[in-house]
Amino acid sequence: MNDNAPAEKRVLKTALGPGDGCPDVGQLERLLTEGSTPPAALAAHVDSCAFCRTEVQLLREFHAGPNRETEAAAVEAITCRLRARSNGIFKGETPPRGATSEPWWRLFWRGPWFNPVALAAAAIVVVVAIGLQTRISPPALRPPGAGPEVLRSNAIIVTAPSGDVAQAPAEIRWQPAPGAARYKVRLLEVDGHELWNAETAQSMVQIPGAIRSRIVPAKTLLCQVSAFDEAGRQIAISDTVRFRVLQKPYQP
Amino acid sequence: MTGDIDSAADLAQDVFLKAFQNIESFRGHCKFSTWLYSIARNRCMDELRSRASRPGQTADMMLEQLADTRSEQVSQALEQRESAQSLRRLIQESLDETEAKVMTLHYVEELPLDSITRLLGLQNASGAKAYVVSARRKLERIAERKGSPLRSKESNNE
């Protein structure tokens, strides 16, 4: 073992750690809020502070939710487990044998005082959190007969890019929607900021070089395609498709 | 982040429980999701740090062994010649974005390397370890450029 490691760790921890001027996470949130202009001093500090930049990335990814298929599957599995545990509470199941060796919070979770009302309140908290994270404006009321229905779910399937890709994509492709005269394509950051948009009559569009250069490794971006008919009415819209350029392997 | 669903489920339950218990501390100064993030972040970091202190963290032990005898010289040279502020600036200038984040998570948050690899979604074969090694080599080069303390020490040893 290397006896010198603790000294080096101490130096690096001091140099990389938070300083007196580092903002709290509530202030860092302003950097991710769509439509708000963060104070110049805040942006300048984060630019020069590795600790704050790391914090902003963690916060951004937390807001973005799972961005890999494996994560999505894990989230689903965890949701099922937590739901099963809460079902156990509702049914009044007794703890299994050997439960005394379990962590305190498992016992807490099974406590008889932890009633359905409390669980319902917790569920409301989760729903509110999800609601706050969802930045989709409420759908406008649509009078009967006002035009063709806008198909949302899978009406347009974006075929590329999607998921993890090896390099910045040169184009965006999708399956054509019946009756579509033109399409509008939007490239978004995960906080909803629009990076680029374009309109085309084809089922693909080239991404300009200037935009491609902003598609950097490890940064998740979103893509959405809307279809319009001859009269300019929106007739279909795709889901927002995530993609990300993989980090390049380290080359010593 | 944890690498297995079992512990992730336990952590998720723990985080929601803490949020429920401390809901009164949410004052609305930030988004609810940001408040929830701060709870989740602290809980997960605590868990990963406690795991790192358990036996079997081979990747970190290997990293310690990778550090050569110049480590002390690096830290001494940097410590003697740079204040914390200027050392921050050197790190900012010399490390790339991923290296800086990996180093922050490893040395400040004290997360194990395999957790950092998962957390940042690093796809290279050796994950976060490669970035730590690369960053340390860069810092060693800076220390060497600073020059005199290292050379004088080495010449004294000869």
Q: What would the two tokens of residue A117 be?
A: 């009302």
pLDDT at position B68? 47
pLDDT at position B46? 86
Under the banding of pLDDT at 50, 70 and 90, the label for residue B75 is: low
Q: Is the pTM of this model over 0.90?
A: no
pLDDT at position B131? 92
Identify whether A14 is part of a domain: no
Q: How many domains does chain A have?
A: 3
Q: Is the pLDDT of residue B157 over 50?
A: no
Q: How many Cα atoms occupy the beta-carbon half-sphere of A23 within 13 Å? A: 23
Identify whether A1 is part of a domain: no
Count CB neighbours of B45 within 10 A: 17
Pair (A76, A54) in one structural domain = no
Judged by CB atoms within 8 Å, which residues 50-109 of B form the interface with A? 61, 64-65, 67-69, 71-72, 74-76, 78-79, 84, 87-89, 91-92, 95, 97-98, 100-101, 103-105, 107-108
Pair (A210, A236) in one structural domain = yes
Query: Could you tell me the residue range of the domain that residue A180 belongs to?
Result: 151-245
Pair (A84, A162) in one structural domain = no
Pair (A83, A126) in one structural domain = yes
pLDDT at position B140? 80
Q: How many Cα atoms occupy the beta-carbon half-sphere of A241 within 13 Å? A: 24
Under the banding of pLDDT at 50, 70 and 90, the label for residue A184 is: very high
Cα separation, A112 vs B144, in Å, equals 65
Pair (A59, A111) in one structural domain = no
Pair (A184, A226) in one structural domain = yes
Q: What would the two tokens of residue A67 be?
A: 């961005």
Tens-digit pLDDT profile for residues B18-70:
888 888 888 888 888 888 888 988 888 888 878 766 654 444 544 554 454 44
Identify whether A230 is part of a domain: yes
Gap from A103 CA to chain B (nearest CA, Å)? 10
Pair (A89, A119) in one structural domain = yes
ipTM > 0.85 (yes/no):
no
Identify whether A164 is part of a domain: yes
Residue B83 identity:
S
Q: Is A18 in Cβ contact with B121 (below 8 Å)?
A: no
Q: What is the mean pLDDT of residues B101-105?
A: 91
Identify whether A55 is part of a domain: yes
Task: Between B79 and B3, name the one with better pLDDT.
Answer: B3
Identify whether A195 is part of a domain: yes
Under the banding of pLDDT at 50, 70 and 90, the label for residue A172 is: very high
Identify the CA nearest to B31 among candidates A53, A27, A136. Answer: A27
